[in-house]
């Protein structure tokens, strides 16, 4: 049996979790501890714990209510993973926003391999160049190369036939004109804002520590 939350989680990245023969849609960042009958909210970013809280079934009057409380906590923290944060190009290829030291926020593509292994990661562009529009042609070229690589992995081929190359370029052009890509850029802006706030708070804490 499936059960839906009264809280709108349609924009979040979720997975299905079965508890006592009931399937719940659970946002990423929330896990279930069976022994303690508790939902755990834990967000780790840049090797630092950003959010950590526990919501027991007993305290909130049931599994569903405890999960809803955990979801609200995650949403209010500002660290929920949203679907727009990831640009899923196909089953094998996705583009993420990632903060890189000395560079800032970047678009990074990840291509999975067949079988075990972490796959391949490709740098595409900085957010600044994507937002300004100055780096879009280079971004487009790199994205085409990534998709050609994904096709080669899928088809166990060293070369990508011209008709496939043409199809990939057309697909990338359509992507850049889509609402999906516009929302992905907006997600990048949210992350830039979050990084700026985090850096400001960190600088304040360092300043206070001097007194």
Q: What is the DSSP string of 71-137?
A: HHHHHHHT-PPBGGGEEE-SSSEEEEEEEETTTEEEEEEEEPPSSSS--EEEEEEEHHHHHHSTTHH
Shared-domain flag, residues 142 and 64: no
Q: What element of type H or E holds 93? A: strand 93-100
Give the pLDDT of residue 72: 94
Domain boundary among 77, 98, 116: 77
Task: Tell me if 206 is assigned to some domain.
Answer: no
Task: Tell me if 111 is assigned to some domain.
Answer: yes
Please give the tally of structural domains in the chain: 2
Give the pLDDT of residue 210: 59
Domain boundary among 77, 99, 134: 77
Shared-domain flag, residues 56 and 115: no
Give the pLDDT of residue 130: 93
Task: Tell me if 210 is assigned to some domain.
Answer: no
Q: Which two tokens stand for residue 22?
A: 């009931």
Give the pLDDT of residue 109: 96
Give the pLDDT of residue 49: 85
Give the pLDDT of residue 119: 86
Domain boundary among 59, 77, 95: 77
Task: Tell me if 169 is assigned to some domain.
Answer: yes
Q: Which two tokens stand for residue 195?
A: 């990084």
Which candidate, 116, 136, 114, places its Cα nearest to that of 125?
A: 136
Shared-domain flag, residues 72 and 88: no
Shared-domain flag, residues 90 and 194: yes
Helix %, strand %, coil % of the chain (to 5): 45, 30, 25
Shared-domain flag, residues 16 and 44: yes
Range of the domain at 163: 84-201
- Quickly state the pLDDT bin for 46 (edges 50, 70, 90): low
Give strand pairing partners of 104.
100
Shared-domain flag, residues 43 and 94: no
Residue 2 clears pLDDT 70, i.e. is over it = no
Give the pLDDT of residue 148: 95
Please tell me the least confidently modeled range out of 51-55, 165-169, 182-186, 205-209: 205-209
Shared-domain flag, residues 94 and 197: yes
Give per-residue pLDDT as tens, 79-137: 888 888 899 999 889 999 998 888 889 999 999 987 766 789 999 999 999 999 988 99
Please tell me the least confidently modeled range out of 7-11, 140-144, 145-149: 7-11
Summarize the confidence of residues 41-70 as an average pLDDT. Answer: 91
Shared-domain flag, residues 58 and 141: no
Shared-domain flag, residues 47 and 130: no
Shared-domain flag, residues 194 and 92: yes
**pTM for this prediction:** 0.71
- Quickly state the pLDDT bin for 11 (edges 50, 70, 90): confident
Give per-residue pLDDT as tens, 151-193: 998 888 888 999 999 999 999 999 999 999 999 999 999 888 8
Shared-domain flag, residues 95 and 172: yes
Give per-residue pLDDT as tens, 14-38: 999 999 999 999 999 999 998 889 9
């Amino acid at each position: 049996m499936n059960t839906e939350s009264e809280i709108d989680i349609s924009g979040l990245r979720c997975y299905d979790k079965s508890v006592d023969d009931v399937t719940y849609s659970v946002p990423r960042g929330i896990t279930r501890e069976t022994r303690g009958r508790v939902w755990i909210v834990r967000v780790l970013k840049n090797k630092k714990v950003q959010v950590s809280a526990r919501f027991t079934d007993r305290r909130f009057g049931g599994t569903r209510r405890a999960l809803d409380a955990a979801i609200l906590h995650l949403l209010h923290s500002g660290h929920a993973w949203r679907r727009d944060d990831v640009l899923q190009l196909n089953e094998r290829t996705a583009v993420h926003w990632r903060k890189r030291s000395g560079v800032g926020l970047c678009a990074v593509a990840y291509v999975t391999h067949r079988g075990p292994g972490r796959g391949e990661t490709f740098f595409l562009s900085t957010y600044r160049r994507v937002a300004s529009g100055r780096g879009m042609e280079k971004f487009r070229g790199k994205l085409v190369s990534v998709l050609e690589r994904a096709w080669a992995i899928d088809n166990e081929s060293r070369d990508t036939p011209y008709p496939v190359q043409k199809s990939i370029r057309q697909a990338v052009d359509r992507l850049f004109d889509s609402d999906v890509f516009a929302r992905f850029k907006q997600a990048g802006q949210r992350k830039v804002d979050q990084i700026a706030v985090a850096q400001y708070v960190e600088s304040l804490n360092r300043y206070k520590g001097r007194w």
